[in-house]
Amino acid sequence: MATPEPIARLISHVILDLDGTLLNTDCVVSQVLKPFLVKNGKKWDSKKAHKLVGKTHLMKQQLLWCNIKALPGANRLIKHLKSNGVPAALASNSPGSNIEAKISCHQGWKESFSAIVGGDEVEKGKPSPDMPGVAAGKAAGMHVIAVPSVPKRTAEFSSADEVINSLLDVRPEKWGLRPFRIDDTLPIEPWFIGGPVIKGFGRGSKVLGIPTANLPAENFSDVLSEHTSGVYFGWAGLSTRGIYKMVMSIGWNPYFDNTEKTIEPWLLHDFGEDFYGEELRLVIVGYIRPEANFPSLESLIERIHEDARIAEKALNLPLYAKYTDSPYLRNSLKEDNSANGNQSVIDSK
């Protein structure tokens, strides 16, 4: 990620893009385009499709706007700007009527913007300064933060003052506002996934010395599309063993250049044996950092252990520790464990 230059003064106003910045429209557009092209004998090219996203509204007019979910961090940022009295505007290449339809499904959004401008209200769209994007924002003399909606394309936004992986990486303290993060972690709305533990790539224990309890990614395609890549943490429940602290990566693991997005949890406990096939349930409660590449295997391993130390400490905070009482975790434990009084949280020490 690009190293941002310090902002010399507090921000006075913010202009936000909509599609691919606040709303996960890129994913929905792909879901619509791909079957249409395949049905008509055309070859699907995700790279070409992503180049079209955000530059025209024509392909999006038939989408069911209310099915489009907010991207991670969007609600938090909008509420934070409003509560701190920072005027925010919304600018999109979509026509005004489509913008209204999209944001009407998200409570409080419309009232949070001082101005809403659509592509049909200006003479020139992106990258003209009439309609802010990265190039447009810079042309207008603004401080620009880019949030690439397509993985591995951050180099294309080199003109931005700052490039971040997602809105989870916004640091409002740089603007003189109250920070989001607590002890190097970002609290998030918890999400829940589970399934049988499967064999992964075989590199966790053998290459990294870090045994991960892999889940079948194909079972979580919707979850993977909704959540940004990065390092998260939370609690893990194993049906016959107990509840454990956990740190987890979600993404493509750039060092190994994965072709598919994966979920790889590391339970912070020395089990001494494999538990393939056992039911694993995860409650993800916080975010640590964006996905990143590393110059060496040693630096990757060092960073993973640092992530574990951060998660280990943070999960002792009441803010995160309360989720050990989640019925999703507790109900997964076998009755014989309950009868024996074994439903305790097991520390990694």
pLDDT band at 343 (very low <50, low <70, confident <90, very high): very low
Query: Going by C-beta distance under 8 Å and a sequence separation of 6 or more, which residues neighbour residue 215?
Result: 193, 194, 195, 196, 197, 198, 263, 265, 280, 282
Res. 306: pLDDT tops 70:
yes
CB atoms within 10 A of CB 133: 24
Residue 149 has pLDDT above 70, yes or no: yes
pLDDT in tens, 69-87: 899 999 999 999 999 999 9
Q: Which has more confidence, 69 or 89? A: 89
Identify the DSSP state of 192: E
The closest of 229, 230, 224, 228 to 289, measured between CA atoms, is 230
| Whether residue 26 lies in the annotated active site | no
Instruction: Check residue 336 and give its pLDDT.
Output: 40
Question: What pLDDT digit, counting tens, does each position of 241-263 carry?
Answer: 999 999 999 988 777 777 778 88
Indicate if 164 and 243 belong to the same structural domain: no
In this structure, is residue 344 part of a structural domain? Answer: no
Beta strand extents in 294-349 (DSSP E only):
345-346
Q: Is 218 a catalytic residue?
A: no
Q: Which of 17, 26, 162, 291 is catalytic?
A: 17
**pLDDT confidence bin for 323, thresholds 50/70/90:** very high
Q: At residue 120, what is the residue type?
A: D
Q: Of 189 and 346, which is predicted with more confidence?
A: 189
Distance, CA of 54 to CA of 18 (rounded, Å): 9
Amino acid 184: pLDDT: 95
Q: What is the pLDDT of residue 288?
A: 98
Q: Within this chain, do residues 93 and 216 fall inside the same structural domain, yes or no?
A: no
Same domain for 79 and 191? no
From the list 26, 162, 264, 291, the catalytic residue is 264
Q: What is the pLDDT of residue 274?
A: 84
Structural domains in the chain (count): 2
* Residue-level pLDDT at 75: 97
19 is catalytic: yes
pLDDT at 205: 60
Mean pLDDT, residues 273-277 taken together = 87
Q: What proportion of the chain, given as a percentage, has pLDDT over 90?
A: 46
Same-domain check for residues 171 and 287: no
Q: How confident is the model at residue 340 (pLDDT cuts 50, 70, 90)?
A: very low
3-state SS class at 232 = strand
- Do 155 and 192 fall within a single domain? no
Q: Is residue 32 part of a domain?
A: no
pLDDT exceeds cutoff 50 at 275? yes
Of the ranges 57-61, 93-97, 293-297, the best mean pLDDT one: 293-297
Q: What is the pLDDT of residues 133-144, one digit of tens each?
A: 788 888 888 899
pLDDT exceeds cutoff 80 at 321 = yes
Global confidence as pTM: 0.83
Burial (CB count <10 Å: 0-12, 13-18, 19+), residue 251: buried
Q: Which domain holds residue 87?
A: 14-24+68-175
pLDDT of residue 131: 58
- Predicted local distance difference test score (pLDDT) of residue 49: 54
Query: Do 281 and 328 meet the contact criterion of CB atoms below 8 Å apart?
Result: yes
**Mean pLDDT for the stretch of residues 121-128:** 70
Provide the mean pLDDT of the chain. 82
| CB neighbour class for 295 (10 Å; exposed up to 12, middle 13-18, buried from 19) | exposed
Domain match, 156 and 20 both: yes
Of 19, 162, 169, 291, which is the active-site residue? 19
Residues 196 and 305 in one domain: yes
Is residue 131 a contact partner of residue 122, using CB atoms and an 8 Å limit? Answer: yes
Based on the domain organization, do 200 and 162 belong to the same domain?
Answer: no
Most confident region among 149-153, 167-171, 293-297 by mean pLDDT: 167-171
293 shares a domain with 161: no
- Whether a cis peptide bond, with omega within 30° of 0, leads into 265 is no
| 319 and 252 together in one domain | yes
CB-CB contact of 143 with 161 (8 Å): yes
Average pLDDT over residues 163-169: 95
Q: 108 and 170, same structural domain?
A: yes
pLDDT band for 202, please (50, 70, 90 cuts): low
CATH number for position 273: 2.40.30.30
Examine the pLDDT at 58 and tell me if it is beyond 50. Answer: no
